[in-house]
Amino acid sequence: MKRVPTVELSDCVLCELCTDLCPEVFVINTNDYVQVTDLDTYPQAEVDDVIKNCPADCITWEEQP
Using CB under 6 A, which of 5, 22, 25, 34 touches ligand SF4? 34
Residue 2 or residue 13: which is nearer to ligand SF4 going by CB? 13
* Total residues binding ligand SF4 (CB under 6 A): 14
* Least CB distance to ligand SF4 at residue 31 (A): 14
3 state SS of 53: helix
Q: Which of 63, 65, 61, 64 is nearest to 25 (CA)?
A: 61
Phi, psi of 9 (to 5 degrees): -65, -30
**By CB under 6 A, is residue 47 in contact with ligand SF4?**
no
